[in-house]
């Protein structure tokens, strides 16, 4: 907080040329036009960038920052969508627009899909490893892939930039999570690493298209202000999971929108209604609590999360995870 | 029996010929054929200038013998094969059941032709990857252990690329993941490409821990080694006959026999024999009808503790633990 942040602006490109901004801007070194190594005084580690197929590139970042930085991805008229996967050990503070989006342990949305015309700021934690992967998908390619999963008319509407903004934030789906954690076990310098990274990027793209085909299409344009305000409220929910759901009216007021507009935008960006989103996050936190070894029984966890009835808590928990909270509880001081 | 003479390559000029030979036709990336003859899909996907994938997912309705007669020699074929049923690989008139000894990955130089016989009713799921030798050479030169011999590996005067191997769990998972994807549309191509890169990566990892033996191999040599392996399998209950006897049987010198055996299967004749013995012992154990002592006796181990020791060494658990986990 007190230390002055190094501020840095850049934007990605589908090809490798964007890397020169990092070289010129903060003195990173670039090898083979794909491996960036950060200057020692700023961070340990670096990144690897590969063009996978025509229309798909991938960037894997593995860095531990030594000083506070604010990295701003400036909007660009390049022709791609970016998908972000956070697989770090710790929180990366994410800012979309001006909203601090803390990807925290208890409330971490590790995945985001956005247009390259959208601004983004990242403030990685100092002294913690940041590990993340980004896909860059050429817009026409994405549209073509999506077209194979739904009717043409809806697809054309979804990809019509004058009518619709494509953006969503969510948890990383479990299939992608498995691939990412497998990738994380591999060393950058192993001879098969680039092939594995390409393979992972293609599978992540495939899974993304399959998953997005199940989203209810909500067609509308989002202003930067709309997006910021929705993230403000989702951030509020994630920071207050131990309380009760504040109610739609209050949330809409907070976003300075009508309830119906708020509901629509929230669902578009976060793929759930505010209430459902809150409940999911709460239960994910419950799962963490149950397995943390810090509680003696299910009742304590229920109370901690603001449920007055442990039975009701058990019921909703079972609905989501198919197991009773008692079955996953690791008791305080119990030895395994 | 239907006979199909065909060739492969990174370039796609072989596709129409293969389609005509099997009595089908080319439809975009597919080779279509009447369901009565073969049910399923053949799908060709060029990935880049040095890489083409060919996916075969078919159930045969008639006996077919595929005769691979390549005219190009600039590529290597990586055949990841999950076939069920009677498919037989023939090299120099030696036939053996594919997959019978746990081989489900074949790496063959384009120069090495072979016949592949498929029985009616069998199901093949195979991903064949054709990769230019120049590209494979580049991948291999990234492995420090093999850097010194990489020139020799790709020198046809010195070496023939041939290997029967077992795919890793991850490769198996990748193939099954691809199989879940509907075989059509641009999304299928994304999954195929992801699978192909993953399979090559996986094989490179496998190679890191393997010794690559340089040597020229003729199809007759491969045939002799395979028939020697077949002989070992049929005599699995006896004691190891010794290298001398095996080499004589295969019409080779002992040195040549040992070297070739290791080159194409990755292990020594004795290790091959023992590992198959243990696999058979394991199968027998699974029936639950025999004691460990009986099994040890049947396969010629000194005694129970010898079998237990070898079993644990190979499978990581003792026979008893293995049984309790079944």
Give per-residue pLDDT as tens, A113-122: 999 988 888 8
Tell me: do B37 and B125 sit in the same domain.
Answer: yes
Give me the pLDDT at residue A105, please: 35
pLDDT value at B93 more than 70? no
In the predicted model, what is the mean pLDDT of residues B21-26? 92
CA distance A285 to A238: 10
Strand partners, A49: A59
Candidates A305, A235, A234; CA nearest to A273 is: A234
pLDDT digits (tens, 9 = 90+) for B151-208: 888 888 888 888 888 788 788 889 989 998 988 889 999 999 999 999 999 999 888 8
Residue ending a domain, among A212, A230, A255, is: A212
Tell me: do B204 and B223 sit in the same domain.
Answer: no
Tell me: do A154 and A70 sit in the same domain.
Answer: yes
- Residue B266 gets the label, from left (phi > 0), alpha (psi -120 to 50) or beta, of left
pLDDT value at A60 more than 90? yes
Predicted confidence band at B91 (pLDDT cuts at 50, 70, 90)?
A: low
Give me the pLDDT at residue A49, please: 97
Q: Do B201 and A149 touch (CB under 8 A)?
A: no
In the predicted model, what is the mean pLDDT of residues A176-191? 86
pLDDT digits (tens, 9 = 90+) for A28-48: 999 999 999 999 999 999 999
Residue ending a domain, among A148, A178, A212, is: A212
- Of the candidates B187, B193, B202, the beta carbon closest to that of A148 is on B187
Candidates B136, B152, B156, B246; CA nearest to B201 is: B136
Distance from CA of B36 to the nearest CA of A (A): 29
Phi and psi for A115 in degrees, rounded to 5?
Answer: -85, 150
Tell me: do B111 and B254 sit in the same domain.
Answer: no
Residue B162 burial (C-beta neighbours within 10 Å; 0-12, 13-18, 19+): buried
Tell me: do B11 and B127 sit in the same domain.
Answer: yes
Radius of gyration of chain B from its Cα atoms, rounded to whole angstroms: 21
Of the listed ranges A45-59, A119-133, B297-311, the one predicted with least confidence: A119-133
Tell me: do B35 and B162 sit in the same domain.
Answer: yes
pLDDT digits (tens, 9 = 90+) for A260-289: 999 999 999 999 999 999 998 889 888 888
Q: Which residue has the tokens 């079944």?
A: B326
CATH number for B107: 2.60.120.10
Q: Examine residue B213 and state whether it is found in any structural domain, yes or no.
A: no
Residue ending a domain, among A212, A244, A267, is: A212
Predicted confidence band at A108 (pLDDT cuts at 50, 70, 90)?
A: low
CA angle B162, B165, B169 (to 5 degrees): 145
CB pairs under 8 A between A and B: 69
CB A27 within 8 A of CB A38: no
CA angle B180, B185, B187 (to 5 degrees): 60
Q: Do A202 and B193 touch (CB under 8 A)?
A: yes
Q: Is the CB of A54 inside 8 Å of chain B's CB atoms? A: no
CB A275 within 8 A of CB A287: no
Average pLDDT value for chain A: 87
Q: Examine residue B182 and state whether it is found in any structural domain, yes or no.
A: yes
What percentage of chain B has pLDDT greater than the value 90? 39
Q: Which residue has the tokens 């049984």?
A: B323
Q: How many domains does chain A have?
A: 2
pTM score above 0.80: yes
Q: In 3-state terms, what secondary structure has residue B325?
A: coil
CATH number for A238: 1.10.10.60
CA distance A35 to A50: 9
CATH number for B269: 1.10.10.60
Tell me: do B233 and B171 sit in the same domain.
Answer: no
Q: Examine residue B309 and state whether it is found in any structural domain, yes or no.
A: yes
pLDDT value at A334 more than 70? no
Predicted confidence band at B89 (pLDDT cuts at 50, 70, 90)?
A: low
Tell me: do A299 and A334 sit in the same domain.
Answer: yes
Residue B187 burial (C-beta neighbours within 10 Å; 0-12, 13-18, 19+): buried
Residue ending a domain, among B208, B235, B251, is: B208
- Using DSSP, how many helices (H) and how many strands (E) does chain B show? 12, 13
Question: Strand A29-31 to strand A35-37: parallel, antiparallel, or no bridges (unpaired)?
Answer: antiparallel
Q: Examine residue A1 and state whether it is found in any structural domain, yes or no.
A: no
What percentage of chain A has pLDDT greater than the value 90? 53
Tell me: do B131 and B271 sit in the same domain.
Answer: no
Tell me: do B224 and B78 sit in the same domain.
Answer: no
Q: Examine residue A296 and state whether it is found in any structural domain, yes or no.
A: yes
In chain B, residues with a C-beta closer than 8 Å to the C-beta of A205 are 190, 194
pLDDT value at A91 more than 50? no
What percentage of chain A has pLDDT greater than the value 70? 92
Q: Examine residue B320 and state whether it is found in any structural domain, yes or no.
A: yes
Residues of chain B whose beta carbon is less than 8 angstroms from a beta carbon of chain A are: 47, 139, 142-144, 170, 174, 177, 181, 184-187, 190-191, 193-198, 200-202, 204-205, 208
Q: Examine residue A217 and state whether it is found in any structural domain, yes or no.
A: no
CA distance A121 to A131: 16
The residues in A 133-152 lying below 8 A from B, measured between CB atoms, are 144-145, 148-149
Residue ending a domain, among B173, B208, B243, is: B208
The question of ipTM being above 0.85 is answered as no
Tell me: do A139 and A173 sit in the same domain.
Answer: yes
Number of neighbours of residue A38 by Cβ within 10 angstroms:
22
Give me the pLDDT at residue A90, please: 43
CA dihedral B171, B173, B174, B177 (to 10 degrees): 160
Look up the domain containing B303 and give its range: 218-326
**Residue B149: which residues within 8 A CB-CB, separation 6 or more?**
B212, B214
Tell me: do A173 and A302 sit in the same domain.
Answer: no
Tell me: do A241 and A189 sit in the same domain.
Answer: no
Q: How many residues does chain B have?
A: 326
Q: Do A195 and B191 touch (CB under 8 A)?
A: no
In chain B, residues with a C-beta closer than 8 Å to the C-beta of A210 are 187
In the predicted model, what is the mean pLDDT of residues A149-156? 93
Q: Examine residue A145 and state whether it is found in any structural domain, yes or no.
A: yes
Q: Examine residue B248 and state whether it is found in any structural domain, yes or no.
A: yes
CA distance B199 to A222: 41
Tell me: do A16 and A65 sit in the same domain.
Answer: yes
Give me the pLDDT at residue A101, please: 45
Average pLDDT value for chain B: 87
CA torsion sign for A289, A295, A300, A304 is negative
Q: Examine residue B166 and state whether it is found in any structural domain, yes or no.
A: yes
pLDDT digits (tens, 9 = 90+) for B227-254: 888 788 888 888 898 999 999 988 899 9
How far is CA B14 from its chain centroid?
22
Tell me: do A161 and A206 sit in the same domain.
Answer: yes
CATH number for A110: 2.60.120.10
pLDDT value at B325 more than 60? yes
Distance from CA of A185 to the nearest CA of B (A): 13
pLDDT value at A107 more than 60? no
Q: Do A192 and B205 touch (CB under 8 A)?
A: yes
What are the start-end ranges of the H helices in B113-164?
133-140, 150-153
pLDDT value at B17 more than 90? yes
Distance from CA of B289 to the nearest CA of A (A): 37
Of the listed ranges A67-71, A89-93, A218-222, B184-188, the one predicted with least confidence: A89-93
CB A269 within 8 A of CB A227: yes
Tell me: do A72 and A115 sit in the same domain.
Answer: yes
Q: Where are the beta strands (DSSP E) in B98-143?
A: 105-109, 114-118, 123-132
Task: Report which of residues B219 and B44 the model is more confident about.
Answer: B44
Tell me: do B114 and B54 sit in the same domain.
Answer: yes
- Of the candidates A53, A196, A206, the beta carbon closest to that of B201 is on A196
Phi and psi for B112 in degrees, rounded to 5?
Answer: -95, 100
Give me the pLDDT at residue A98, please: 47
How far is CA B4 from its chain centroid?
21
CA distance A133 to A97: 20
Residue ending a domain, among B208, B236, B255, is: B208
Structure tokens at A39: 């200057």
In chain A, residues with a C-beta closer than 8 Å to the C-beta of B200 are 192, 195
Tell me: do B55 and B84 sit in the same domain.
Answer: yes
pLDDT digits (tens, 9 = 90+) for B254-298: 999 999 998 888 888 998 898 888 888 888 888 888 999 999 999
Look up the domain containing A125 and give its range: 6-212
Tell me: do A97 and A168 sit in the same domain.
Answer: yes
Q: How many domains does chain B have?
A: 2
Predicted confidence band at A106 (pLDDT cuts at 50, 70, 90)?
A: very low
Candidates B314, B211, B317; CA nearest to B266 is: B211
pLDDT digits (tens, 9 = 90+) for B60-88: 888 888 999 999 999 999 999 887 665 66
CB B196 within 8 A of CB B230: no
Tell me: do A194 and A79 sit in the same domain.
Answer: yes
Question: Strand B64-68 to strand B2-6: parallel, antiparallel, or no bridges (unpaired)?
Answer: parallel
Q: Examine residue A306 and state whether it is found in any structural domain, yes or no.
A: yes
CB A83 within 8 A of CB A135: yes
Q: Is the CB of A53 inside 8 Å of chain B's CB atoms? A: yes
């Amino acid at each position: 907080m007190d230390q002055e942040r190094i501020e840095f602006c850049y934007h990605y490109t589908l090809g490798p040329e964007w890397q020169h901004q990092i070289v010129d801007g903060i003195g990173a070194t670039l090898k083979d036009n794909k491996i960036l190594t950060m200057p020692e005084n700023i961070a340990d580690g670096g990144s690897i960038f590969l063009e996978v197929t025509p229309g798909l590139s991938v960037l894997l970042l593995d860095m531990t920052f030594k000083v506070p930085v604010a990295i701003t991805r400036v909007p660009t008229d390049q022709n791609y969508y970016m998908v972000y996967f956070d697989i770090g050990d710790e929180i990366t503070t994410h800012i979309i627009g001006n909203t601090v989006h803390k990807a925290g342990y208890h409330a971490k949305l590790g995945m985001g899909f956005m247009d390259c015309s959208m601004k983004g700021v990242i403030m990685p934690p100092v002294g913690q490893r940041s590990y993340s992967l980004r896909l860059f998908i050429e817009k026409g390619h994405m549209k073509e892939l999506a077209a194979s999963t739904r009717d043409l008319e809806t697809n054309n509407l979804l990809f019509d930039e004058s009518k619709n903004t494509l953006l969503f934030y969510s948890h990383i789906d479990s299939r992608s999570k498995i691939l990412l954690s497998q990738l994380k076990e591999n060393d950058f310098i192993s001879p098969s690493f680039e092939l594995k990274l390409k393979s992972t990027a293609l599978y992540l793209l495939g899974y993304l298209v399959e998953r997005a085909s199940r989203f209810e299409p909500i067609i509308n344009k989002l202003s930067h202000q709309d997006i910021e305000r929705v993230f403000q409220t989702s951030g509020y929910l994630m920071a207050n999971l131990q309380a009760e759901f504040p109610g739609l009216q209050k949330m809409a007021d907070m976003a300075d929108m009508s309830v119906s507009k708020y509901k629509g935008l929230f669902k578009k960006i976060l793929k759930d209604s505010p209430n459902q989103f809150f409940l999911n996050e709460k239960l994910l936190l419950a799962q963490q609590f149950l397995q943390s070894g810090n509680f003696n029984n299910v009742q304590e966890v229920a109370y901690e999360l603001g449920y007055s009835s442990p039975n009701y808590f058990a019921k909703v928990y079972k609905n989501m995870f198919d197991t009773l909270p008692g079955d996953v509880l690791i008791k305080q001081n119990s030895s395994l | 029996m239907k006979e199909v003479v065909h060739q492969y390559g990174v370039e796609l000029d072989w596709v129409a010929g293969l389609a005509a030979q099997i009595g089908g036709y080319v439809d975009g990336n597919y080779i279509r054929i009447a369901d009565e003859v073969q049910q399923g899909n053949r799908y060709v996907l060029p990935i880049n200038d040095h890489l083409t994938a060919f996916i075969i997912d078919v159930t045969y309705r008639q006996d077919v013998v595929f005769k691979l007669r390549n005219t190009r020699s600039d590529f290597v074929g990586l055949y990841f094969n999950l076939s069920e049923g009677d498919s037989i690989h023939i090299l120099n008139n030696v036939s053996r059941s594919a997959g019978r000894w746990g081989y489900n990955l074949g790496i063959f130089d384009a120069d090495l032709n072979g016949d592949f016989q498929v029985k009616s009713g069998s199901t093949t799921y195979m991903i064949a990857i054709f990769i230019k030798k120049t590209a494979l050479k580049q991948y291999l030169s990234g492995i420090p252990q093999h850097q010194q011999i990489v020139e020799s590996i790709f020198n046809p005067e010195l070496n023939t690329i041939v290997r029967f191997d077992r795919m890793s769990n991850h490769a198996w998972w990748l193939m099954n993941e691809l199989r879940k994807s509907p075989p059509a549309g641009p999304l299928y191509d994304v999954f195929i490409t992801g699978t192909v890169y993953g399979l090559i990566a996986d094989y490179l990892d496998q190679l890191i821990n393997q010794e690559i033996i340089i040597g020229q191999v003729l199809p007759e040599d491969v045939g002799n080694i395979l028939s020697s392996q077949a002989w070992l399998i049929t005599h699995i209950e006896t004691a190891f006959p010794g290298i001398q006897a095996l080499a004589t049987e295969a019409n080779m010198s002992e040195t040549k026999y040992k070297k070739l055996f290791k080159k194409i299967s990755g292990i020594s004749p004795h290790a091959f024999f023992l590992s198959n013995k243990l696999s058979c012992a394991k199968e027998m154990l699974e029936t639950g009808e025999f004691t460990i002592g009986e099994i040890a006796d049947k396969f010629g181990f000194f005694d129970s503790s010898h079998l237990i020791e070898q079993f644990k060494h190979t499978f990581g658990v003792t026979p008893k633990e293995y049984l309790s986990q079944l």
